[in-house]
Amino acid sequence: MKLRDKVALVTGAAQGIGKEVALLLANEGANLAIIDVNLDSANETVKEIEALGRKAIALKVDVRSSDEATSMVKDTVEALGSLDILVNNAGITRDKLLLRMSDEDWDMVMDVNLKGAFNCLRAAVKVMSKARSGNIINIASIVGLMGNAGQANYSASKAGLIGLTKTTAREFAARGIRCNAVAPGFIDTAMTQAMPDNAREALISQIPSKRLGTSEDVAKGVLFLASEDSSYITGQVLSINGGMYM
């Protein structure tokens, strides 16, 4: 087990990529804090992790709130004993073409995706700095690297998250804290499954690997960065996109 007895906190972990990440980290020996705005779904994830023989707690947290992020870290340390790994996965979309995008559309996505990650990161590094050890993985996106029509807010939030990742890595490397990002491409999710067949095929045709990614593909990248296999890697962006952006 690569993460035996480590404590990992994963935001947005009640479903999708976040849940897949949490389950894989648990399979590798980590105990988990499952963070989400949907507490019922978070508790279901906790049950699955406990069935693997690991400890887990569920916390309802709005990552936009600095106070809630601080309490989240405190509660995790009290319940599980430490905080070794933070995965900033919580995120939303409000897709519209730029000229049709409202202030609310912009602010909501930036507040959750970028400010939320900042709030969680700032709270976590206070604990990690005292331990002089820690590992932060931010879930960015291919569109933070290449842009995407109709996603000005989402692209900007993910590009900002990459900048936050690199700055955090520089500021905290001397304290034993690593910070990296994962940038998934187009992943096979409920959203892509709902696309018309022709639109889905057109999307896949742009990917050299000729398939959409899976949540497991992303989770394996997170596990690599969370483990000692990547002990000399910090400030980097791991692109998991089937070659769509190189």
Rounded to a whole number of angstroms, the distance between the first and last alpha carbons of the chain is 32
Instruction: List the 177-184 sheet strands across, edge first.
Output: 56-60, 31-36, 7-11, 85-88, 134-139, 177-184, 237-240
Per DSSP, the three-state class of 135 is: strand
Per DSSP, the three-state class of 13 is: coil
Say which of 3, 72, 119, 154 is annotated catalytic. 154
Count CA atoms within 13 Å of residue 205 on its CB side: 6
- Please report the sign of the dihedral spanned by the C-alpha atoms of residue 246, residue 143, residue 26, residue 119: positive
Least Cα distance to 138 among 126, 151, 153, 124 occurs for: 124
Per DSSP, the three-state class of 31 is: strand
Q: Is 245 a residue of the active site?
A: no
Q: Could you give the angle at the alpha carbon of 182 between the alpha carbons of 128 and 150, nearest 5°?
A: 125
Q: What is the spatial distance between Cα 104 and Cα 89, in angstroms, rounded to a whole number?
A: 21
What amino acid positions are annotated as catalytic residues? 154
